[in-house]
Chain A
Amino acid sequence: MSKIWQWLKTPSAKYSAGFLISLSFIVGILFWGGFNTAMELSNQESFCISCHEMEENVYKEYQDTVHYSNRSGVRATCPDCHVPKVWHHKVMRKIRATNELLHKALGTIDTPEKFENKRLELAHHVWDEMKANDSRECRNCHDYESMDYLSQRSRSVKQHIKGFDEGKTCIDCHKGIAHSLPNMATDDPSATR
């Protein structure tokens, strides 16, 4: 250990400072590029559904919804809703995603039954997060400032005006927008069997 430290501390006699600076520049760029490429690769829908846990449950359900196919042809993919756009939020989310890799290895949700049993907990993670950040990912595409109430349906308008006045956020009213909901017995008992 102390030997390595010694070696690191002694100034280089062989290489010029200019060479060393350029070298660290190049290595830095390579690392940074690699890091970003990894971030980008893991930010594609094909990556999200490369594991069967996602492909067989949430992905199938999402294919039935507006965000998969609509009249405008604009699709919201998994990372659009689940990965922040802003860099530091994004890195934080990716770091937390390592926990998901662990559970993938442990097989925590590797059957539809296990997935269903965990679903309420998983959904709550997303709801709590969206509640805390005022549904930031929804607002990347939707903005209540630019909503044209004249072209919205009357019920949407009524609820939006009232809801935004009361400080509500998208996820308060639009749970289950992309997937089947878990058993809602604890969250809204009146809307369950």
Chain B
Amino acid sequence: MNTINKLFLLLLLCVTAMQINAKEVEIQSLRGNYDLDELSPEPEIKRRRDSDRVKRQFGLQPPVIPHLTKGYKINLKFNKCLTCHSWENVKKTDAPRVGFSHFVDREGANSKKVAGRRYFCVQCHVTQADTPALIENTFKPANK
């Protein structure tokens, strides 16, 4: 075998090895490598007590909730959050009251009660938790 042939063979070997390697790197979704109809392992349950309020990280961020909301019901007949945070009730509870923006409906009209699009509090507000970021990121609050 001449040198050229030898080199060519070596190249071929390298390429095949790289391909085998490439196959091992698979795309992984956040829920891990599980079939759609399969259950991924249950996440570790986070047990939390109440904590101090975390500041907003950017303008107009819906503030996060500094206490548990387990078992709080929000439905057409009743909203547990508003039993402390409504304008009437904050007088008794000293809780932060819902903002003005929450009384404006999508037509821009002011309503006396919390507008429909703001009624389901936990659509935007979540209980705060000190957990590792799901994805590595470089986010910094706007004011820093």
Contacts and interface: CB of A to CB of B under 8 A. Distances in A.
Interface string A40-63: 000000000000000000000000
Nearest to B73: A180
Interface stretch (B5-13, B75-83, B130-138): B75-83
A155 B50 contact: yes
Interface of B: 49-50, 67-68, 71, 73, 75-80, 82-83, 86-89, 93-94, 113-114, 116, 119
Given A159-B93, A191-B83, A176 B78 contact: yes
Contact of A190 (B49, B80, B113): B113
Contacts of B80: 176, 191
Chain B CB within 10 A, most for which of A153, A158, A191: A191
A159 B73 CA distance: 20
A190 B82 contact: yes
A165 to B, nearest CB: 13
A188 interface: yes
A8 to B, nearest CB: 59
Nearest to A156: B50
Contact of B89 (A64, A153, A154, A191): A191
A33 to B, nearest CB: 41
Nearest to A153: B50
18 contacts: A64-B71, A155-B67, A176-B80, A180-B77, A180-B78, A181-B73, A182-B78, A184-B77, A188-B83, A188-B86, A189-B88, A191-B83, A192-B77, A192-B82, A192-B113, A193-B76, A193-B113, A193-B116
A153 B49 contact: yes
A66 interface: yes
A182 B77 contact: yes
A58 to B, nearest CB: 14
The A interface, classified by DSSP as helix, strand, loop or mixed, is: loop
A180 B113 CA distance: 21
Interface string A62-106: 001110000000000000000000000000000000000000000
A149 to B, nearest CB: 13
B78 A190 contact: no
B50 A154 contact: yes
Contact of A176 (B68, B73, B87): B73
Contacts of A155: 50, 67
Top 8 nearest A-B pairs by Cβ distance? A190-B86, A191-B82, A183-B77, A190-B88, A153-B50, A181-B78, A191-B83, A184-B78
A117 to B, nearest CB: 12
A60 to B, nearest CB: 13
A183 B88 contact: no
Contact of A192 (B49, B79, B93): B79
Interface string A144-169: 00000000011100110000000000
